[in-house]
Each structure stands twice: as structure tokens, then as C-alpha cells.
Amino acid sequence: MAIHNLGYRHCEGRRQSHRTRWLVLTENGIRRAWASAWLRRMLFFAWLPSVLMGFMIFLYEQSESTDDPFTRAFIQMGTALLEPGGQGNMQASGMLGYLQQKNEHPGETRHLFWSSLLLTLFRRSQPFILIPMLGVITPPMISQDIRSRAFLLYFSRPLSRTQYVVGKLATVIFYVLLITLMPALMLFCTGLLLSPDLSVLSSTGDLPLRILLASLLIAIPAASLSLMLSSLTTESRFAGFAWFAIWIFGAFTAGILSNSTWGDSTSPLKYLSLFEVFSEVAGSILDPQLASSRVEEPVSILAVLTAVSLAVLFRRISAPMQV
């Protein structure tokens, strides 16, 4: 037997197309992350509020066709609790004022009410799941590859750096969409099922596309930033600490500066907090009346954040391959 036949065998499996090789990394990353019991618990709590808020939509739609004072009082009380911080036009008159105008502009008011519930989901429920979830998933994704020099294995195959980054990003974006896009769509569908008829689609039919756009504008920057932090160190715990520090200290600093003599509630200093940036983007997209400023400002911040994160990420991935 020839010596070259001793250690080599023909591949008996199906080869992956060069256009979809990044899916191998994504599939493996999703499977490894799903093994965490904490992750599954967080996903459960991310989906639960959407079902509960669907009950608010049910009461709202029932109040359209009934003059029951109890129903109207309950929906007004619930709306006051869910009012998203008094932003934009909401700051001047509040959601209760819009409810009083239901008979004058029913379609516009319905759209605003549904969007308000969706924004509450984005800004109150989801960030508190997003931050710890990515703090668990992303820190080891690239830092372990750098520490173990797994690049020697990855790039010895016909896998480019772009495909490697796309595969890692797709893993993170998949889980972010599970706690942003999916609960929001679940709330929308719950509202449709609990509505008296499907005529509500005439005023809310654009919300699924708005939900998708808002979710992507949250998922892509968050995934890029978290993976960049993972690429900056070989220790996963340092990347995790940096991820939590950016959110916590950013919100703390923005709160102090915005309420001091140097700024106010409409000051650009509030964008030091990623909470405010993501909230403004989601509010502007879901309904312009829910935003306190132009959408161009927070979207520009997210675009710069994503570009810088990806540039650093590609540079860090390329560094071990340089001679």
C-alpha cells in the first residue's frame, strides 16, 4: 500500500457550499448556547410579558364597542402604568389624552396604543433580558478562539475571515431576535386574536415591518459590540465585565449629566446610555409620536458604534494570522 493511503480517506459526507459555510459556525454556536439552562429561563421570561400585554389590547378593543365604565377605567389605569416615560407628544398630553380622542381619530389612536405597548416591551422588559443573555453567550465566543489559537483550524479550511465574523454575528443576532422580534410579533398576533375582528389590520398592518426594523437596529449593533469586546481579550470574564460596565456606567453617567446644569431631559448627553439610544430608535420606528427627538441622531450613533465594532473585530481576527 502506498504511504499516502495510510492516513487519508475520501470525504464521504456532503460538502458545504462556499456561500453558506458560515452557517456551520452559526449552527454550532446556537447549539452550544442552547445547552445553558439559564439561557432557556431568560427566553421564557422574555416571551411572557407579550402575552400579558395582549390582555391590555383586548380591553382596549372591547372599550371600542362598549360604554362599560369599568372597562374604560381599567384600560386608562393600565395605560397610565405602561406610559413610556412621557416622551415627545406623549410628554405634553399623555396617553390618557389620546384615549379621550378615540372617537375623533380611532385608527391613529389604535396605532399609537399598540405601538406604546410594543415600546414598553422593547424598553422595559427586553433590555433586562438582553444584557445578561449576551453577557452569558458572547464573551467566550471569540476570546476562547484567540486563547486556544483555533484560527489555525478555522482558516486552514476554505473559510474566510468574513464568513467567520458573519457566522459569529448570526449566532448572537439569532438569540437577540428571539427576545425582541419574537415577543413583539407574539404581542401583535395576540392582539389580533383578541380583537373583535380583523378590521384592526387597516390601522396596524404596518407594525410587523416596523417591529422587524426596530429589532434589527437593536440586534446588529448589540451583537457587533459584544463580539468586539470578546475579541479584545483572551479571558471571557474580562469581556463580560466590559459588556456590563458599558450599560451600567453609561446609564449612570447619562442620568447624572442630563439632570445637571449641563443638560436636561432632551440633551444629547442622554445618548451616553445605550438604553436611551435603543429606546429612541424603537420609539421613532414604531410611531414617531413616541420619540422625543429625530430618529437620525440615535440611528447615527448606532451606525458609528457598529462600524467601529466591526472594524476592531476584523483587525483582532486578522492579528493572529499576521507574520
- What number of H helices and E strands is found in the chain? 15, 0
| Domain-located, residue 12 | no
> Has residue 7 been placed in a domain?
no
Q: Which of 205, 42, 52 is nearest to 121 (CA)?
A: 52
Q: Are 289 and 108 in contact (CB under 8 A)?
A: no
Summarised one tens digit per residue, pLDDT across range 133-156 is 999 999 999 988 888 777 667 766
**Residue-level pLDDT at 266:** 59
Range of the domain at 167: 20-321
Cα separation, 264 vs 245, in Å, equals 24
> How far apart, in whole angstroms, are the C-alpha atoms of residue 322 and residue 319?
5
Does residue 263 surpass a pLDDT of 50?
no
Q: Pick the more confident residue, 218 or 17.
A: 218
- Under a CB-based contact definition with an 8 Å cutoff, are residues 125 and 46 in contact? yes
**87 against 270, higher pLDDT:** 270
pLDDT for residue 94: 46
* DSSP label of 124: I
Is there a domain that residue 1 lies in?
no
**pLDDT at residue 1, rounded to an integer:** 45
Q: What is the pLDDT of residue 273?
A: 85
The whole-number pLDDT of residue 4 equals: 52
Report percent pLDDT > 90 for the chain. Answer: 21
**What's the domain count of the chain?**
1
Residue 260 has phi, psi (to 5 degrees) of: -90, -175
Per-residue pLDDT at 198: 75
295 touches 285 (CB < 8 A) = yes
Which tops the pLDDT comparison, 158 or 220?
220
Instruction: Using pLDDT thresholds of 50, 70 and 90, give the confidence band for residue 161.
Output: confident
Determine the Cα–Cα distance for residues 224 and 305; give it in Å rounded to an integer: 8
Residue 89 maps to a domain? yes
The answer to whether the CB of 85 falls within 8 A of the CB of 224 is no
Please tell me the pTM assigned to this model: 0.80
State residue 276's pLDDT score: 84
pLDDT of residue 107: 64
Q: Is residue 2 part of a domain?
A: no
